[in-house]
Amino acid sequence: MYTILDKQLIGPKVYRLRIRAPEIARVRRAGQFVALRVTKEGERFPLTIVDSDPAEGSLTLIVQEVGLSTQNLCQKNAGEEISDVAGPLGHPTDIEKFGNCVCVGGGIGVAPMYPIAKALRQAGNKVTTIIGARTKDLIILEKEMRAVSDDVVLATDDGSLGMKGFVSDVLKHLVTGEGRHFDLAAAIGPVPMMRAVCNVTKELGIRTIVSLNPIMVDGTGMCGGCRVLIGGQTKFACVDGPEFDGHQVDFAALMSRLRMYDHLKAQCVSGAFAPAAKST
């Protein structure tokens, strides 16, 4: 039913998949995600919808192979099916004409940032995008981001491409060093990266939204597994989010909860539970 229409490797262990999901493609808005189950034994996990084509009835997802479930997904090829895809889930991004927006994407976070940058630009905002990664080879979606941004700044930790430094330092430099002014910042990426960007924007007084990535099961608000602390209040990322005011987020609690099943990952080594008749 949820057929993979196309699959492309776009970075080391990073794949772009176009999948058939007409009911979801029809109504999906920027910022929303799907809950997938690759096989009947698989876990349910969320992925942000990077793009959608209502005419074709397809969704674009970008996945990084980090463990068993993403590996099982990435090992499927065009023509094969994903067992279950449900959505669109979560509140769409609140898109308004803010003025000057800076979209900061770290690592794989650039993928979910793409639809937000695109929607902000379409609403008449001026969009500056900062794409960061550890090193040159891990920078993804540069071309796609350039197409939806007024300007793009690349940053690598090791300086192999673009500015040398963390995206948070780059953002700080753009404001304090180059005198840029931003009405809104959006940051998506690993939790320490979002936290670092929020620390910078809090100092600079820039309103910031982040898209949180807690562990989820159903994605529809029925289990509370994705609960996060926003301004000291419990919110469910799947139904109250996934986007929140970055300055209100308890990032330490989120990081701690993300580690909850780390001790079990060793039992899910690839190959041990990979689909039959697969060679590495």
Partner 1 sequence: MPQLTPAERLKIPRQPMPEQPAAQRIRGFTEVALGFTPELAVLEANRCLGCKKPKCMEGCPVQIDIPGFVKLIQENDFKGAARKLREFSDLPAVCGRVCPQEEQCEQFCSLGKKGQPLAIGRLERFAADCERADTQRALPALAPKKGKKVAIVGSGPAGLTAAGELLKRGYEVTIFEALHEPGGVLVYGIPEFRLPKEIVRYEIDILRRMGAEIKTNMIVGRTFTVDELLNNGYSAVFIGAGAGLPILLNLPGEHLNGVYSANEFLLRMNLMHAFEFPKYHTPVFCGKRVAVFGGGNVAMDAARVALRMKPDKVYIAYRRTAAEMPARAEEVEHGKEEGIEFMFLIAPTKILGDEKGWVKGVECLKMELGEPDASGRRRPVPIPHSEFVLDVDTVVIAIGNTPNPIVPNTTKGLKVGKHGTIEADAKGATSRPGVFAGGDIVTGAATVILAMGAGKKAAQAIDEYIQAKESH
Minimum distance, C-beta of residue 196 to partner 1, in the bound complex (Å): 20
Site for partner 1, rule CB under 8 A = 23-24, 27, 37, 41-44, 68-69, 83-89, 217-218, 220-225, 227, 229, 234, 239, 250, 253, 256-257, 259-261, 264, 267-268, 272-273
Minimum distance, C-beta of residue 95 to partner 1, in the bound complex (Å): 18
Of 19 and 153, CB closest to partner 1: 19
Of 55 and 264, CB closest to partner 1: 264
Residues 6+ apart with CB under 8 A from 156: 132, 133, 134, 135, 136, 138, 139, 162, 163, 164
Minimum distance, C-beta of residue 69 to partner 1, in the bound complex (Å): 6
Of 163 and 239, CB closest to partner 1: 239
Of 10 and 222, CB closest to partner 1: 222
Let me know the angle formed at the C-alpha of 226 by 221 and 231, rounded to the nearest 5 degrees.
100
Strand order in the sheet with 45-53: 81-82, 2-11, 14-20, 58-64, 45-53, 33-37, 84-89
Of 179 and 232, CB closest to partner 1: 232
Of 53 and 183, CB closest to partner 1: 53
Q: Which residue has the tokens 């876990």?
A: 43
The closest alpha carbon to 110, from 162, 45, 176, belongs to 162
243/213 Cα distance (integer angstroms): 9
269/60 Cα distance (integer angstroms): 27
160/138 Cα distance (integer angstroms): 11
Minimum distance, C-beta of residue 256 to partner 1, in the bound complex (Å): 4
What is the greatest pairwise CA distance in the chain? Answer: 57
Minimum distance, C-beta of residue 146 to partner 1, in the bound complex (Å): 32
Minimum distance, C-beta of residue 107 to partner 1, in the bound complex (Å): 23
